[in-house]
Amino acid sequence: MDGDDDSDDWLTPIRTAETTKNDVGINGAELRELEEAESEEEDEDEKEDLRPLEEAEAKIRWLREELAWFRSTAVKEQSEKQSLQGQIQQLKLKMARLQQQLKQEQRQSSQLRQQLKQERQQAQTQSSENMTQMMETMRQEAKAQRAVERSRKEKDTAFSAMRKAQANSERLQAKPFLKIEYATDSGGWASYPADSIDKIWEELCAGKRELEFDRGDETYLISFQNLMQENTKTRKQRRIRISVDVPEYWSMSSGIEKQDFLRCLAIGSDEEIFNRVRVLVPESQRLEIDRVVKGSVFHHLDFQGSSACGLEAVSVKRVWRIEHPTLFRKYSLCRSALQEKSQGGVPGISPPIGEKLSLLAKRLLDPDVRASVNEVFLFHGTSTSNIHSIVAHGLDFRLANTGFYGQGTYFASQSCKSWQYCCRSCGDEARYMIIARVSLGKPHYTKEVERNRKLPPKGFDSVVANPGPMAGHHSAVQSHQEFVIFDRYQAFPEFLVEIHR
């Protein structure tokens, strides 16, 4: 028993605490509330104790950020300071060089003044007669220099005006003369209004093959692939037809077929345009052109010897007629401007061009127009690499070097002369020659070489160099009859001739 009593001794404090708790009347729930309140008070006290520490840490962080900003600002200011110092140093070096240069120029100026002083002293020692002669020579030289400058300015002004007028002409003449009609219910044809044609042409030049346009309250869709017009509301379709102002012997003179319409447009690469606008002529006309080429080789009309260039032995294999309505329209407008300019008529070409070319012109060209502006057929030789560009865009003097008679486009009435400019290194390969329709207008007959000429003389439209003595020529003699125009649209490449040896 004693042992059992000893084993309960450890319970004595607990029993005592419970007795005490019961004595004071506090139950377990109240005790827990007291403990939680004491814990919250302790937390509040701890937070209160930590608040100054947190505020101190926040202030330290702010001070560190301020310090970092001041450091970065100091680095930036130091960099700017170094840059300014570098610029100052460069300016000092530049100033030193300028000062050195100024000193050198001052020395040179001093030397020149000394030299001038000596020359004046020498001049004063000359006789009055020599002085008068020298002053007169100087005046004459100054007068001649002023005349040269004045002439150069006049030429530059005239050339600038020509280029500006040509640019305006190209802008205004970009649209060919088109006539577009649609089928009516009565079986006839009605024309589109001019403003509609202008809009249609602009869209076509932008590369469109179908386009919509409004007329009144209706909207229409035009397909130039099918040559059809469709009302977008009613879906009613009508046929359309197109005609252009071109020579009567062209294949499209009676109207444009679906597959031919792209020939009216200068759209695409030079090769694409080239392939669209050339038309192979029939055998009868090929033979006619062959006779024209071989019958126009001589230098002079009374020349009876054999041809030096050997064109009598060549063969004209193929001939294409160039049917390019857009380019022909530009030529036609330029020709009309020449007609208006020379309403009183112009003198004919003297001496006349060869018989074969004259017969070709008589058969194909309008006689009244031909006489009013000296419209003729002439030869133009060029390299094979230029053919696509010439057919696509016309004859442009910028493709060639400057000749004896100015910066223009050159033609000849003798095929032998133009043959010189065809491909000389081609051997037995095909060579090409252009037979161009050219409006010469009023010609100026030159007697001397003038390489710097940019325009025909005032009052004239072209320059002609006839066979005979020619001042400034390397051989002193002009062998062939040559023609030069300075407006690219005075000529149209009518025929492309393929020649084989």
Do both 382 and 285 map to the same domain? Answer: yes
Question: Could you write out the DSSP letters of every residue in 14-82?
Answer: HHHHHHHHHHHT--HHHHHHHHHHHHHHHHHHHHHHHHHHHHHHHHHHHHHHHHHHHHHHHHHHHHHHH
Do both 321 and 198 map to the same domain? Answer: no
User: pLDDT at position 9, please?
Assistant: 63
CATH number for the domain harbouring residue 221: 3.30.720.50
Tell me how far apart the alpha carbons of residues 233 and 212 are, in angstroms, rounded to a whole number. Answer: 12
Residue 170 has pLDDT above 50, yes or no: no
Tell me how far apart the alpha carbons of residues 423 and 429 are, in angstroms, rounded to a whole number. Answer: 9
CATH number for the domain harbouring residue 417: 3.90.228.10
Do both 240 and 276 map to the same domain? Answer: no
Tell me how far apart the alpha carbons of residues 322 and 279 are, in angstroms, rounded to a whole number. Answer: 6
Q: How confident is the model at residue 432 (pLDDT cuts 50, 70, 90)?
A: very high
Tell me how far apart the alpha carbons of residues 56 and 50 are, in angstroms, rounded to a whole number. Answer: 10
Residue 172 has pLDDT above 50, yes or no: no
Q: Which has the higher per-residue pLDDT, 132 or 425?
A: 132
State how many domains the chain has.
2
Residue 75 has pLDDT above 80, yes or no: yes
290: in domain = yes
Least confident of 7-11, 54-58, 249-253, 371-375: 7-11
User: pLDDT at position 71, please?
Assistant: 82
Tell which of 224, 244, 264 closes a domain: 244
pLDDT tens for residues 199-212?
777 777 666 778 88
Residue 345 has pLDDT above 70, yes or no: yes
124: in domain = no
In angstroms, the Cα distances linking 280 to 84, 175, 484 are 77, 26, 28
Average pLDDT of the residues in 373-401: 89
Do both 334 and 452 map to the same domain? Answer: yes
Residue 483 has pLDDT above 70, yes or no: yes
Do both 411 and 352 map to the same domain? Answer: yes
Do both 185 and 323 map to the same domain? Answer: no
239: in domain = yes
Tell me how far apart the alpha carbons of residues 445 and 442 are, in angstroms, rounded to a whole number. Answer: 10
- DSSP-derived secondary structure letter, 348: P
Do both 312 and 238 map to the same domain? Answer: no
Residue 2 has pLDDT above 80, yes or no: no
User: pLDDT at position 38, please?
Assistant: 76
Do both 486 and 381 map to the same domain? Answer: yes
Q: How many CB atoms lie within 10 A of CB 370?
A: 18
Do both 198 and 319 map to the same domain? Answer: no
- Is the N-terminal amide bond of 351 cis, ω within 30° of 0? yes
Tell me how far apart the alpha carbons of residues 339 and 179 are, in angstroms, rounded to a whole number. Answer: 24
Please state at what angle helix 355-364 crosses helix 283-294, rounded to 10 degrees.
150
Q: How confident is the model at residue 439 (pLDDT cuts 50, 70, 90)?
A: very high
Residue 448 has pLDDT above 50, yes or no: yes
pLDDT tens for residues 9-61?
656 655 665 555 555 555 667 777 787 887 877 777 777 778 888 888 888 88
Residue 77 has pLDDT above 90, yes or no: no
Most confident region among 160-164, 165-169, 341-345 by mean pLDDT:
341-345
Least confident of 93-102, 150-159, 305-314: 305-314
Average pLDDT of the residues in 403-415: 91
Tell which of 206, 228, 244 closes a domain: 244
Q: Which has the higher per-residue pLDDT, 497 or 339?
A: 497
Burial (CB count within 10 angstroms: exposed 0-12, middle 13-18, buried 19+), residue 330: buried
Q: Which has the higher per-residue pLDDT, 14 or 298?
A: 298
Arithmetic mean of pLDDT over the chain: 81
Structural domain harbouring 234: 178-244
User: pLDDT at position 445, please?
Assistant: 96
Q: How confident is the model at residue 176 (pLDDT cuts 50, 70, 90)?
A: very low
User: pLDDT at position 338, please?
Assistant: 92
User: pLDDT at position 11, please?
Assistant: 62
Do both 280 and 390 map to the same domain? Answer: yes
Q: How confident is the model at residue 180 (pLDDT cuts 50, 70, 90)?
A: confident
Q: Which two tokens stand for residue 122?
A: 């020498």
103: in domain = no
User: pLDDT at position 173, please?
Assistant: 45
- DSSP-derived secondary structure letter, 188: -
Q: Is 100 helix (H, G, I), strand (E, B) or coil?
A: helix
To the question of pTM greater than 0.75 for the whole model, the response is no
Do both 282 and 361 map to the same domain? Answer: yes
Residues with Cβ within 8 Å of residue 478, at least 6 apart in sequence: 465, 466, 467, 468, 469, 470
- DSSP-derived secondary structure letter, 398: G
Vertex 489 angle, CA 487 and 494, to 5°: 130
211: in domain = yes
125: in domain = no
Tell which of 206, 229, 244 closes a domain: 244
User: pLDDT at position 392, please?
Assistant: 92
115: in domain = no
Q: How confident is the model at residue 161 (pLDDT cuts 50, 70, 90)?
A: low
Taking alpha carbons only, the member of 444, 455, 447 closest to residue 407 is: 455
Residue 464 has pLDDT above 60, yes or no: yes
3: in domain = no
Query: Could you tell me if 406 and 463 are in contact, meaning their C-beta atoms sit under 8 angstroms apart?
Result: yes
Spatial strand order of the sheet with 228-231 comes to 189-191, 178-183, 237-244, 228-231, 218-223, 210-215
Do both 350 and 206 map to the same domain? Answer: no
Tell me how far apart the alpha carbons of residues 429 and 312 are, in angstroms, rounded to a whole number. Answer: 17
Residue 363 has pLDDT above 80, yes or no: yes
Distance linking the first and last C-alpha atoms of the chain: 152
User: pLDDT at position 167, please?
Assistant: 46
Q: How many residues does the chain have?
A: 501
Vertex 120 angle, CA 117 and 124, to 5°: 140
- DSSP-derived secondary structure letter, 345: -
